[in-house]
Structure 1
Amino acid sequence: MANISPYGRFTHAVVRGVPESFGRADGQDTKEKESVELAKAQRQFGVLTGALRQKVGLQLIEIPADQDLPESWRIEDVAVIQGDTALITRPFRQQRRTEAEAVRRVMSELNLTVVEMGVEEGGSGGATLEGSDVLFTGREFFVGISSHTNHRGAEVLADTFRDFAVSTVPVCGGARLKNICSMGGPDTIIISNSEKARKTLRMMEQLTDHHYDMLTVPEDAAANCVYVQSPSKVDFLLHRPADECPDSIAAFQKLQDYTLLPTACSEVSKLGASLSSLCLLINRKHTYF
């Protein structure tokens, strides 16, 4: 296996602004979701980006909001990045695929090797892959097979990142894999205590030879966190605050020596998104230990 940077060591965060069309699909108000507050979503986005830049110390690259792309703030979905390679994905919904254009330009400007997931992949219907279905542990990839990501998409990811094992696990109930689990540090998986999450975890454990520590949280929404180790080797964890996930705060406090950063995302969560949906994290220092 090629040398890799320690898990969580990042230098840049790429984000995309929340547009005025937030909460709409194809330019129309979304009927099946809870009503969202645009101003509140934009404030929460500002707090997240401020935490990444000012507290964690990452270099922040913000792509302007695009009113014609109401879901483009879900930037995690359109690229999977590991090392010097960025795989530009193919979201399930046709309307979202042009979101990749601005992200592709940023990846090129950062001198990453850009790999395209072409429309021809997989024949009829083609490969689909969204980054919120991809969990990279620092050692291997788990890809959630969901209503957004199919097996052919997982195969393209495996072809792109050949230094790492890639395992697929089904995700139930319309969720994305990272709605129910995320990394809480090197070798630590944060996972919901729901039955669907426990079922997914059992499958993941059967597919890996590595032992991961588990931090179980009682609320699904709390299972998605953003872990970053700063250049000064401080462990930061961005997580849902007490007013959004009150029953999970005690679990986060078990992470000794971490700097916990409560970060609200109630508005994007109404649309099925999570904290990690709002950013792409990149390491451009090439320092390996």
Structure 2
Amino acid sequence: MRLLVLGRSGQVARELERLGNDGHEIRLVGRDEADLSQPEAAADVVRQLVDEVHAQAIINAAAWTAVDAAETQEAEALAVNGIAPDLVAQIAAEAGLPFVHISTDYVFDGAGETPFAPDAPTAPLGAYGRTKRAGEEAVAKAANPAGWAVLRTSWVFSAHGANFVKTMLRLGAERDVLRVVADQIGGPTPAEAIARACVTIAETLAAEPAKSGIHHFSGAPDTSWAGFASEIMTQAGLPCRIEDIPTAAYPTPAPRPLNSRLDCHSLQSAFGLTRPDWRDGLARVLTELKATP
């Protein structure tokens, strides 16, 4: 499948690029070509590329992900997370191409302990979540007859860029004890699994656009950040001990949801995708990092 992918340096985009080895034609669009902080100009580039590469689907793997910075730069975050996806969703609809847009658990308020279903009421706690919700609403409003999907995911990790796994490995090698939040619960998700899910969704929508909608995809089993950190230390063979702390002991400019559990049943029903075991994904990431000079 010929895929036009927005985002080049992000974790999921990097994994999508690798899928070119699986027979897919992946055209990544980086900020140097289409800067989503300038949505109108970026949309012009995307419209041109759709024709140039004869795209069969569009995947938006680009986003403003600086959660804390969004609190003081919401307009800038909205341009990338809300306005740009709106314009690209319209382009996809006009071109008759399926559109897959990646979103986040931060659109929820994190209340309770029950996994959030795709149709659960949203109530973002901060600016980042608000801008991502705006993007979701725009993609749904475009009502692309060729098929569309908003894929909410959580706690993304890989061997690329900056993420929790790489931070824990660095700190775990330097310290004997790390204090990590234990009352935020969610599903760590390998970027590789998200990339493959996006392609499966795009391929399915091309044949069955009626499966359009909002879906959830996160790793299993659910755990805390402290639990995630402990597994990282164990698999990496680091002696660093993880000490549980509450969220209140680690204040941040933007509030974090305590409950990031996602109900992923609709994705399995519609696309046959099951939750990946993040521990297996972690093992692969650690292997890759060890092999990287």
Q: TM-score range by the shorter chain?
A: 0.3 to 0.5
More helix by share: 2
* TM value normalised by structure 1: 0.32
Q: Which has the higher contact order (CA 8 A, sep 6+)?
A: 1
Which structure has the larger Rg?
A: 2
**TM-score, with normalisation over the residues of structure 2?**
0.32
